[in-house]
Structure 1
Amino acid sequence: MIVAVVANTAWNLLNFRKSLIGALLAENHRVVLLAPDGPECEQLSASGAEFIRLRHLRRKGVNPLRDLALLYELRTVYAREKIDVALHFTIKPVIYGSFAARMTGVRNISTLTGLGYTFLSGGWANGLVRSMYRIALRHAAAVLFHNHDDRQLFLDGGLVTEAQSQVVAGSGLQLDDYPLSPYEEAIPNRFLFVARLLTDKGIREYVAAAEAAREVNPELSFHILGPLDPENPAGIKAEELERWVAEGIIAYDGVSADVWPHLARASVVVLPSYREGCPRVLLEGGAVGRPLLTTDVPGCRAVVTAGENGCLVPACNADALARAMLEMSALPKEELKAMGLRGRKIVEEQFDDQVVNRVYLSKVNIT
Structure 2
Amino acid sequence: MRIAIVLNTSWNIYNFRMNFVRALQAQGHEVHTIAPEDDYTPLLRQAGCVHHKVKMDSRGANPIKDSLLVAELYMIYRKVRPDIILHYTIKPNVYGTLAASLLRIPVINNVCGLGTVFLKDNLVSAVAIFLYRISFRFANKVFFQNPDDLKLFLDKKLVPAKAVDILPGSGIDLKHFQPVPFKRNEKFTFLLISRLITDKGVIEFIDAVRKLKSKGVNARFQVLGAKDPEHKRGIKLDVIQEWIDSGTIEYLGTTNDVRSFINDADCVVLPSYREGTPRTLLEAASSSKPIIATDVPGCNHVVQNDYNGFLCKLKDADDLAEKMKQMANLGDDKLQVFGQNGRIKMEAEYDESVVINKYLAALSAFRQAS
TM bracket, shorter-chain basis: over 0.9
Code of the residue aligned with 1:281 in structure 2: it is T
Report 1:1-367 matches (<5 A). 1-54=1-54, 56-184=55-183, 186=185, 188-366=187-365, 367=367
- Are the counterparts in 1 of residues 115 and 274 from structure 2 also a CA contact under 8 Å? no
Identical residues among aligned pairs (%): 37
Deviation of 1:176 (Å):
2.2
Using the alignment, how far apart are the partners of 1:171 and 1:90 within structure 2?
Answer: 12
Deviation of 1:119 (Å):
4.2
State the TM-score, normalizing by the size of structure 1. Answer: 0.96
Gaps of at least 5 residues in structure 1 are: none
Using the alignment, how far apart are the partners of 2:25 and 2:149 within structure 1?
Answer: 30
- Are the counterparts in 2 of residues 186 and 264 from structure 1 also a CA contact under 8 Å? no
- Are the counterparts in 2 of residues 170 and 278 from structure 1 also a CA contact under 8 Å? yes
State the TM-score, normalizing by the size of structure 2. Answer: 0.95
Using the alignment, how far apart are the partners of 2:231 and 2:117 within structure 1?
Answer: 11
Code of the residue aligned with 1:7 in structure 2: it is L
* Deviations 1:46-94 (CA, angstroms, capped at 9, x unpaired): 111111111x322234343432332222222222222111000111111
- Are the counterparts in 2 of residues 304 and 312 from structure 1 also a CA contact under 8 Å? yes
Using the alignment, how far apart are the partners of 2:186 and 2:194 within structure 1?
Answer: 20
Aligned-partner SS, 1:39: coil
* Deviations 1:289-322 (CA, angstroms, capped at 9, x unpaired): 1000111000000101011100001011111111
Code of the residue aligned with 2:3 in structure 1: it is V
* Deviations 1:315-348 (CA, angstroms, capped at 9, x unpaired): 1111111111111111111110111011011112
Code of the residue aligned with 1:302 in structure 2: it is H
- Are the counterparts in 1 of residues 116 and 274 from structure 2 also a CA contact under 8 Å? no
Aligned-partner SS, 1:31: strand
Using the alignment, how far apart are the partners of 1:79 and 1:219 within structure 2?
Answer: 59
Aligned-partner SS, 1:116: coil
- Are the counterparts in 2 of residues 187 and 266 from structure 1 also a CA contact under 8 Å? no
Deviation of 1:264 (Å):
0.7
Higher mean Cα deviation, 120-129 or 32-41?
A: 120-129
Aligned-partner SS, 2:299: coil
Deviation of 1:117 (Å):
4.2
Deviation of 1:222 (Å):
0.8
- Are the counterparts in 1 of residues 198 and 233 from structure 2 also a CA contact under 8 Å? yes
Code of the residue aligned with 2:85 in structure 1: it is A
Deviation of 1:140 (Å):
1.0
- Are the counterparts in 1 of residues 60 and 231 from structure 2 also a CA contact under 8 Å? no
Gaps of at least 5 residues in structure 2 are: none
Using the alignment, how far apart are the partners of 1:185 and 1:332 within structure 2?
Answer: 10
- Are the counterparts in 1 of residues 6 and 85 from structure 2 also a CA contact under 8 Å? yes
Aligned-partner SS, 2:214: helix
Aligned-partner SS, 2:302: coil
